[in-house]
Copies of this chain bind each other. A is one copy, B any other.
Amino acid sequence: MCSSPTAKRTGRPRSADADRAILAATRAALAEQGWGRLTLGDVAARAGVAKTTLYRRWAGKNELVVDAVAALFEEQLELPDLGSLQADIQGVVLRFAELLNRPETRTALMAVIAEAAHDDALRLRIREAIVDRQKHLVVLGRKRAQQRGEIPPEDGAADSAAGPARDNLIFDVVAGAVVHRVMVSSEPVDEEWAGRLAVLLVVGLAGLHTAQDL
């Protein structure tokens, strides 16, 4: 950000351990106290680090927490290959729900989203660091389904916008439905519910392909 990777820096280098300890402490504190009661003093104390060290690296709560949360989503999700689109969807839904049920993730994610509701820069950071990184799952799932012949291949130039639009819709529906079920309805995402959602999506998606121009 402020220096090219090859820029030789003089003086004592920053401790990499500190970074890890701080991010871990942030996640732990966030899970326990929630965004509102999260204090940077507490994070510093948990990490065994001075507050100064913390402010030397992040500009404030937002930046720190987004980084801490992003790490959670870094490599957590992958698309299982279960033989059919419906099974794949059911599988990824269950994994996502499991992630959302861990207290650290649940608190952290909602906290940053809420904070982003009135902070455009933060919303952008979330999209880049967390959301966009997961969209490839949809793309991957569609390609597998097309290879299996479950859904038709892309037509090409004619309605070029429809494909990505469908991908985005699927993403919003899957992510939104799971989050809503877990966070708002407070009901479990079990195999049954995930199965129903998968059926809805597979059948509905076929309908979308049938309907022209959608």
Contact = CB atoms under 8 A, between A and B. Distances in A.
A115 interface: yes
A59 interface: no
A196 B199 CA distance: 17
A181 interface: yes
Interface string A33-69: 1111000000000000000000000000100000000
A80 interface: no
A204 to B, nearest CB: 3
Interface string A176-214: 111111011111000011011101111111111001001
A117 to B, nearest CB: 4
B187 A176 contact: no
A202 to B, nearest CB: 7
B118 A183 contact: no
A123 B168 contact: no
A184 B107 contact: no
A106 B183 CA distance: 16
Interface in A127-172: 127, 131, 165-166, 168-169, 171-172
A212 to B, nearest CB: 11
Contacts of A127: 184-186
Interface of A: 31-36, 61, 103, 106-107, 110-111, 113-119, 123, 126-127, 131, 165-166, 168-169, 171-173, 175-181, 183-187, 192-193, 195-197, 199-208, 211, 214
